[in-house]
Chain A
Amino acid sequence: MEFFKFERDIPFMSWGKYTTTISLLTFAISLFFIVTKGLNLGVDFTGGTVLEVSYAQPANLDRIRSIFVTLGIPDASVQNFGTSRDVLIRLPAKHQLSSAKLSETVIASLKELDESIQIRRVEFVGPQVGDELLENGALALLFVSLGIVAYLAMRFEWKFGVAGIIANLHDVIIILGFFAYFQWEFSLTVLAAILAVLGYSVNESVVVFDRIRENFRKMRKAPATQIINNAITRTMSRTIITHGSTEAVVVSMLLFGGETLYYFALALTIGILFGIYSSVLVASPLLMLLGVKREDLVKPEKKQQEEALP
């Protein structure tokens, strides 16, 4: 089997104008939604309590809600999730209520209403802990970005580092844009997924960059555009197959992983799809824009000889 039969190199670079426009547009739209709608931060970051309970019969949400009104927590959100017998309850972080006692009181009241209740999960996070987690998350994002730029700059050249990181932060912003627009819950595991995407997506760019470097050495006379087009075309089959494989696993997670892994897998799915796009159609045009030259990668031989002289 062979899917990819390219007679000649695909002129990716001549599409640069369109792809840059598309990128800038999606980027701007994503940023717009992040700013206007904001992320729907999960309990991990905001602090608060989440209870997952299941009943023997379909749950009566109105009666559960009325309990929270009598408990003095009218802003509790009560919703079905998965099946009609499973209920997810979210309580906002309240400073005046003794946090540790809160879940106990709630569980006791719920038990009074219906004995068949089964507690599947209780998560309580103090607001302070939530703030710290958010801070650490942001720091992790920063350090991953810096680490990747530094590595690319060392292994290749600074232009590659800059192009790579812009392309990949572009992916991250777009994932965040999706989460903001659909108001999907942004939890600690989603953050982990985003960081994994960052590493994974750079991985993608590196493969193309590697080819570009090799081509600069091999195709001595060719202009940069042709070199990049050739590099992308030649790695195309690998790009698609690898992403397809990863995507197959992630889709399997999306389908069989259950509620907890759902948003994690979703973030990865978006990340992988945009990862292909960005590594091919964002990172490389950026590299062109930054004016990558053969001299950046292949040291002029004359200089070496001069150094060799006593």
Chain B
Amino acid sequence: MNRYPLWKNLIIAITLLVGLLYTLPNFYGESPAIQISPLRITAEAGLPLLQKVEGTLKKHGLINEGTLVEGNSIKIRFADTDVQIKARDILQSELGTDYIVALNLIPNSPEWLNSLGGLPMYLGLDLRGGVHFLLQTDMDGALSKALDRYSSDIRSTLREQKISSAGLDRQDSQLIIKFRDELLRSKAEAELKKIYSDLDVRTQDTGRDFRLLVSIKPEAQTRMQSATIQQNISTLRNRVNELGVAEPVIQQAGTDRVIVQLPGVQDTAKAKDILGRTATLEIRMVDDENDIDAALRGQIPFGTELLTERDGGAILVKKQILLTGDRITDAQPGFDSDNQPAVHVTLDSNGARIFKQLTRNNVGKRMAILLVEKNRAEVVTAPVIREEIGGGRVQISGRMSSMEARDVALLLRAGALAAPMEIIEERTVGPSLGADNISRGFNSTLFGFLAVAIFIMLYYRAIGVISILALGANLLLLISLLSILQATLTLPGMAAIALTVGMAIDANVLINERIRDELRNGLTPQLAISAGYERAFGTIVDSNITTLIAGIALFAFGSGPVKGFAVVLCLGILTSVFTAVTVSRAMVNLIYGGHRKLEKISIGTVWKPKAVKR
């Protein structure tokens, strides 16, 4: 009766083995490393780069402990942080600005373990130090800007169609266009509905005039919002790259928020500076009439500015801004009619109109496309206008490689934030505090475990030892699950591990008390064991499900570290039920199950009352 079939024992053994395997990486620790990845997506981090890096390191007498090409980046391991930082500085200056050289940590686990996908637990920022930002996008601002754009678009449409209106006003989230008679209004209504599929056009009659109420359709608003947040995320990603952070986290949270986590970043001021940077695009005319040499000598003509081009050359640009980047709806790399690399830019309708006018009036002249960041302008490209360009499809070409075309397209698309963002939450943890937190969490778990173990073994003897082994198996499985899932472990998460240790013993206590109970009632040891496990099972499930409910609610409503706590709590409950019910049972079966006539089990004193009154 107290024997598991072979397959059951095998499953338990395999589970434990797998658990042990995936817990292992946590014991090897991590060593300091450097991660080199190209700044632009087009560049590759392949063998040539690796050779160059290795050569550079050898030249400066820095010993690396192994290199590793992973995806589009190279990782180099070092013996200690001193060498790591020295190497970082040297590589950064040797490789130039085309590559990001970031400090990183690589797990020390052996190759065979890596190939099995064994990774140490992923530590949260509060355990390894770093910054966490929560940024909020100003969606209202973005929508109101869009409405402003529509209002000027509508004005020009009406003008082009020669429909005279008696005024266009903006009121909250809608535009009100007034007309003198109904005929004009219906003409305008038909026209607007035809052109602007994203707008909702309704009529309204007041005593004095005929009105059209124009608002942005809800589905168009949602589309705009998601496009805005996506662009903001890709912009932030570009900016974070400049910081040289290994494994940054940039993800959307809710409809209008973005989480940015930068592990290991110390200089928060710089990080905030780069994240909060506002970049805008401007189109201006190049001033070729005045002498650039004179300007370089300091005689800058009135109304112009001396700027630098991307290739480093100086260029004289007029101060008047003709078009800004918020008119661009898309930018893609491609080729022009001569099969030369080019960037295809799509403008919105009003931008298209302005651009048509601009190109018509300036054929043969040069136009400059500028990226303005923090009041510092840089000319991205300055092509010659060959002909009038209409239709809102603009092609920027001339003197660029296909790689550059891709970069320019990316910059045009993602150089600027679609809507302003604001930091609404910031959490910075210093690395020393992170290390402290790890040792604190570890110590509380260790001492808690020891205290429980000593007591249980004294109280329940051999069965107690089995209980503690099951508890250890629980800890093993929990850590291996956390490692496999790569769930982020935070300090509250470590607290949850400790708490799980304390709570998991409950299931074993329930079983052991039941066995004692059955022995007290006069059952034979074998019967008592099987009855004890069976009867306790229902109670164990019931009592753990309630805690699981709490864990799930915590996960659903919690944020950040609390979520981490909830994940560990839920997983811990699952593993503890498994280990208490099957792992400990298997051990008991192996020890006691084989004896046909079992006289006694070592479960401490089983005290019997003299007279039980029922």
Contacts and interface: CB of A to CB of B under 8 A. Distances in A.
Contact of B506 (A192, A203, A256): A203
B607 A249 contact: no
Nearest to A268: B499
A119 B553 CA distance: 34
Contacts of A148: 546, 549-550
A58 interface: no
A128 interface: yes
Contacts of A136: 557-559
Contacts of B390: none
Residue of B441, B539, B607 with most chain A CB atoms under a 10 A cut-off: B539
Given A5-B607, A143-B557, A120 B433 contact: yes
Contacts of B559: 133, 136, 188
Residue of A123, A191, A207 with most chain B CB atoms under a 10 A cut-off: A207
A204 B491 CA distance: 26
Contacts of B196: none
A219 B614 contact: yes
Contacts of B587: none
Given A99-B423, A136-B559, A199 B549 contact: yes
B440 interface: yes
A210 B425 contact: no
Nearest to B551: A199
A196 B567 CA distance: 12
B579 to A, nearest CB: 15
A253 B546 contact: no
A188 B561 contact: yes
B502 A188 contact: no
- What range describes how many residues of A lie at the interface? 35 or more
Contacts of B363: none
Interface string A230-265: 000011011001101111111111011110110011
Given A128-B424, A242-B506, A200 B547 contact: yes
A122 B565 contact: no
A143 B557 CA distance: 10
B609 interface: yes
Please classify the interface of chain A as helix (H, G, I), strand (E, B), loop, or mixed, using the class held by over half of its residues. helix
Contact of B495 (A7, A129, A152, A264): A264
Contacts of A119: 428, 430
Contact of A207 (B134, B430, B539): B539
B507 to A, nearest CB: 9
Contact of B545 (A118, A151, A249, A253): A151
B28 interface: no
A122 B268 CA distance: 10
Contact of A203 (B443, B496, B544, B613): B544
A200 B451 CA distance: 20
Contacts of B513: 235, 237-238, 241
Nearest to A137: B557
B557 A257 contact: no
A2 B539 contact: no
Residue of A6, A137, A238 with most chain B CB atoms under a 10 A cut-off: A238
A215 B611 CA distance: 18
Contact of A196 (B441, B506, B550): B550
B538 interface: yes
Interface stretch (B341-349, B403-411, B454-462, B481-489): B454-462
A262 B546 CA distance: 25
A265 B441 CA distance: 12
Contacts of A202: 543, 546-547, 550
Given A2-B605, A189-B561, A192-B492, A249 B542 contact: no
A56 B134 CA distance: 32
B549 A151 contact: yes
Given A8-B613, A140-B557, A237-B513, 8 more contacts: A100-B423, A103-B268, A123-B426, A143-B553, A238-B510, A248-B452, A249-B501, A253-B448
Interface of B: 126, 134, 136, 268-269, 272, 276, 422-430, 432-433, 436-437, 440-441, 443-445, 447-449, 451-452, 455-456, 458-459, 491-492, 495-496, 498-499, 501-503, 505-506, 509-510, 513, 516-517, 538-539, 542-554, 556-562, 565-566, 569, 604-607, 609-614
6 interchain residue pairs of minimum CB distance: A199-B550, A249-B448, A249-B502, A126-B424, A246-B502, A140-B557
17 contacts: A7-B610, A7-B611, A100-B276, A119-B430, A124-B423, A124-B426, A140-B556, A148-B546, A155-B542, A188-B558, A196-B569, A198-B550, A199-B547, A246-B505, A252-B498, A260-B440, A261-B440
Interface of A: 1-2, 5-9, 52, 99-100, 103-104, 107-108, 118-126, 128-129, 133, 136-137, 139-140, 143-144, 147-148, 151-152, 155, 188-189, 191-192, 195-196, 198-200, 202-204, 206-207, 210, 219, 222, 234-235, 237-238, 241-242, 244-253, 255-258, 260-261, 264-265, 268
